[in-house]
């Protein structure tokens, strides 16, 4: 299933991460609205250059983990104290130390599955999903800075183009995705 954002995108390809980092900083300083930046690997300093806030994925992970903890611990408590109490080895029905291994494992399991599902959902990815890409070498060795030019005046577009040219883009192209 192809998920198209239905946009005209003007983009420039740079051949080094230092070049795109300075280009992104300059573009933001010049108040140009960046559509997105695509890189073959995580470029350090890009979050700051793009002005991203910290990802809240870990907070979600904590909540999922907590759900796992409670599911396991309360579940075992319910089974062994009210649903079907059995004495094992002369221990009390509610034998907390014996519940710890399963509680720990389910905490990790819920947190991991929850976060991975959240990650793919918020990134709009998943099995069978195809997101259109701008250039085949973005996943290889090119660093791409893209501007949205869907309903943009020619003046504005020229401004983007000049910026890409002056900031050291090797190749400039426009594509409908």
Show the tokens assigned to 131: 């997101």
109 binds another protein (CB under 8 A): yes
- List Cβ<8 Å contacts ≥24 apart for 162-165: 163/26, 163/27, 163/30, 163/32, 164/10, 164/11, 164/12, 164/23, 165/12
CA distance 29 to 149: 19
Show the tokens assigned to 35: 């559509």
Q: Using the rule CB under 8 A, which residue among 30, 66, 74, 125 binds another protein? A: 125
Q: Using the rule CB under 8 A, which residue among 91, 150, 158, 170 binds another protein? A: 91
Binding segment for another protein (CB under 8 A), chosen from 25-33, 75-83, 149-157, 158-166, is 75-83
- Nearest by Cα to 37 from 138, 115, 127, 161: 138
Binding segment for another protein (CB under 8 A), chosen from 25-33, 126-134, 147-155, 157-165, is 126-134
Nearer to another protein, 50 or 152 (CB): 50
Nearer to another protein, 54 or 155 (CB): 54
90 binds another protein (CB under 8 A): no
Neighbours of 44 (CB within 10 A): 9
10-49 residues in contact with another protein (CB under 8 A) are: 17-18, 21, 36-47
CA distance 94 to 144: 59
79 binds another protein (CB under 8 A): yes
CA distance 143 to 37: 8
172 binds another protein (CB under 8 A): no
Neighbours of 111 (CB within 10 A): 21
Q: Which residues bind another protein (CB under 8 A)?
A: 3, 17-18, 21, 36-47, 50, 52, 54-55, 57-58, 61, 75-76, 79-80, 83-84, 86, 88-89, 91, 95, 98-99, 101-102, 104-106, 108-109, 111-113, 115-116, 119-120, 122-131, 133, 136-141, 144
């Amino acid at each position: 299933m192809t998920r198209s954002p239905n946009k005209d995108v003007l983009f420039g390809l740079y051949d080094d991460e230092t070049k795109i980092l300075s280009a992104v900083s300059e573009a933001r300083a010049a108040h140009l609205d960046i559509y997105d930046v695509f890189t073959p690997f995580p470029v350090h300093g890009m979050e700051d250059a793009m002005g991203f806030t910290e990802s809240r994925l870990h907070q979600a992970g904590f909540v999922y983990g907590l759900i796992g903890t409670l599911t396991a611990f309360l579940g075992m408590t319910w089974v062994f104290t009210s649903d079907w109490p059995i004495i094992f080895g002369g221990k009390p029905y509610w034998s907390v130390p014996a519940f710890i291994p399963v509680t720990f494992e389910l905490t990790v399991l819920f947190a991991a599955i929850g976060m991975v599902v959240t990650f793919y959902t918020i990134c709009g990815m998943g099995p069978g999903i195809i997101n259109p890409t701008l250039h085949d070498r973005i996943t290889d060795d090119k660093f791409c800075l893209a501007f949205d030019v869907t309903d943009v005046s020619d003046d504005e577009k020229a401004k983007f183009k000049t910026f890409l040219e002056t900031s050291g883009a090797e190749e400039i192209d426009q594509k409908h995705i």
